[in-house]
Structures are given as C-alpha cells and as structure tokens.
A and B are shown apart, each in its own frame.
Chain A
Amino acid sequence: MSDAGADIRREALISNADPSDFWALMKPRVMSLVVFTALVGMLIAPGNIHPVIGFIAILAIALGGGASGALNMWYDADIDQVMRRTANRPIPGGRVSGEEAKIFGLLLSFFSVMVLGLATNWLAGGLLAFTIFFYVVIYTMGLKRSTAQNIVIGGAAGAFPPVIGWAAVTGSIAIEPIVLFLIIFLWTPPHFWALALVKNEDYTRAGVPMLPVVAGEAATRRQILIYTILLTLSAFAPVALGFGHWLYLATGVIGSAMMLRWSWMILRAATPESDRKACWSMFGGSILYLFALFAALLVERIVFLALPLLARLTGVGA
C-alpha cells in the first residue's frame, strides 16, 4: 500500500479523540443554561420531588442537552469547518470523526430520555425526546440551512428545559412553565442576531441564511429591537401571574431597561466600532439578563420555602 493510502486507512481506523473532546461535543456552556433553566422550572413547580430524583432528573436533562449538541455538531461539521468561531470544534479539528459524534449523540439521547422517564414520568421523558428531535431534526437539519427565521423557530428547543423541569415534578404542564418558555423563546432572536451581525462574514461564507445575510443589517437591527420589546413585555408576565415577586420585578426592570438600551444602540450605531461594541454588549448582556431573571425566581422560591422552616425554628408565628 502506498504511504498516502496507509495514512488514509490509519485515519479511518484510529480514533484521535480524548474524553475532553466528547465533553466539548456536548456544548457545556449551552448545557449549563439548560441545567439552570430546568432547575428553576423544577423548583417553582408545586409539589414535591425527592432531592435525589430531582438531581437525577437535572442530570438527564443536561445529558439530553448534550446529546442535542453532539448531534448538531455531527450534522453541522461542514458549516463549522468554514466558520472561524467553530473551526476548532472536535469534528472539524479532526479529533473526533463524524461517525463517533453521531453514535455518541444517539446513545446519549436514548439514555437521557430513558433515565428521565424512569426516574420521573414519561411526560417529562417525552418532552425531552421531543426537544432533542426538534433541535436536531427540525432546527439543525431543516430550518438552519433553509430560512432566515431559523433561530426564531429553532429557539423553541432551547426554551423547553423549564417546561421539562416542571413536568418532571408535576407530571403536567401549566401556564407558569409556558411563560418561562415564552421568555426564552423571545430572548433567542436578539441574542443570536447580535452575534450574527458581528459574524456576518462567517455566516455568509458558510452559506447559512441568517437574517443579516438574507434581509440585510438594517432589517436585522429593527427586528432585534422589536423582539427585545416583546421579550421585555413577556418578562413581566411572571409578576402579573403572581409567581414573580419584588426581587424578580426589580431584576426585570433593571435588566429590561439595559436590554432595550443595547437594542437601541444597535439600531443607532453610527460607526463600525460602536456597532461592534453594541452587538457584543447585547450578546453577552442578554445571557446575563436571562440568567438574572431565572436566578431571581430561584432565590424568591428558596426564600419562600425557607420562611416556614425559619418560623418553626425560631418559634415566630407559632
């Protein structure tokens, strides 16, 4: 066999992967947001779940998120290869083969759904399975390459975790998790379009029809403002419905004001430098905004859960 032939055969047979590459396939940063929002959905739900079962449920939801990430990277390896931001991911970097990533993602999907279904209930398990399906088949294989509305509709996949968390505890779905779903759903477009404006060149080269590529930058800036207004309105729904209180309200007011300011700065940016700055502020700030809103709900819930216990311990109100 020629040297070149031997090299090709060698590459096909020998895995170059390190366990850390499989960890990277799971998109750990996205997974952390999935875990956090699912945890909030779980904790604000009425009813009890054993802490150990709750922990296992969160683990399963995290693994389901990781499975989606791995399958997304398997399918999108051709796009990732030509984009600077993603060129060093495990598959385009040559450390993990597409086949390895696909099998890894499928195995993770199967076990995460099974574990969640067995540990909690099959509504939660089914919702997790649907989320993985939606992200991989509907978004990655379908919308991402075919429409400028890709991340608007695809954002639903990222919005499911709090609904799954709620369903894991109650076995049902109610208005509260739907509101949390709506907040994440409306949060996704301004967050990713801010990135798309900065990385417009990358997306154009990769042939991904992101809004700035298809409709132009001016239209994208207007859309960012519109979605930010809708998002900030929906952010107050928990207060209107009575499951967000003072801390949440304060966080919502301050955070929403900043989000509106960033989206206005993006609309009005006069120079490329100020434009870049505004887009990065929106991209990073919107993560903080979502995190702060959910953290406020979490803190309020923990305080409300702890109050009766404190009252009992101190004898106040007895």
Chain B
Amino acid sequence: MSESKPEGIILTPEEKARRQRRSRAIALSVVGLVVLFYVITIFKMGPAILARPM
C-alpha cells in the first residue's frame, strides 16, 4: 500500500497543542455549565424538587 500525501492544511505541533488546550477549555466550560444548572435547580427548588404529584 502506498503512503498517501496528506492534503489540506497541516498543523504545526504548536498549533496542535493550542487546539488541544482550547478543546480542554471548551470541555471544562460545558461541564461547568451542566454543574451550574444542576446546582441552581437543587438550591432554588430544594426538597420541593421531590414533591411532585405521582
């Protein structure tokens, strides 16, 4: 099998490292947002969150 030459833009190691750091920051922000909405729900509604008609 012949090795094909990569096409398009090839990232330098530094650009790859930056992209990875950006991806991590986005992941952390998304997780943070999920936790934030969870915490707001619990503290705003408190025990009432369980009191729903069955």
Binding site for B on A (CB under 8 A): 9-10, 13-19, 22, 50, 52-53, 56, 59, 111, 115, 118-119
Contacts and interface: CB of A to CB of B under 8 A. Distances in A.
A205 B40 CA distance: 48
A56 B11 contact: no
A315 B15 CA distance: 64
Given A10-B9, A52-B39, A16 B44 contact: no
Interface of B: 9, 11, 15, 18-19, 21-22, 24-25, 33, 36-37, 39-40, 43-44
14 contacts: A13-B9, A14-B11, A15-B22, A17-B22, A18-B18, A18-B21, A19-B21, A19-B22, A22-B25, A56-B40, A115-B40, A118-B37, A118-B40, A119-B44
Contacts of A56: 36, 39-40
Consensus secondary structure, chain B interface? helix
Nearest to B17: A18
B36 A16 contact: no
Nearest to A6: B9
Contacts of B19: 15
A22 B43 CA distance: 30
A129 B21 CA distance: 30
Contacts of B36: 56, 59, 115
Given A52-B39, A53-B43, A118-B40, A111 B22 contact: no
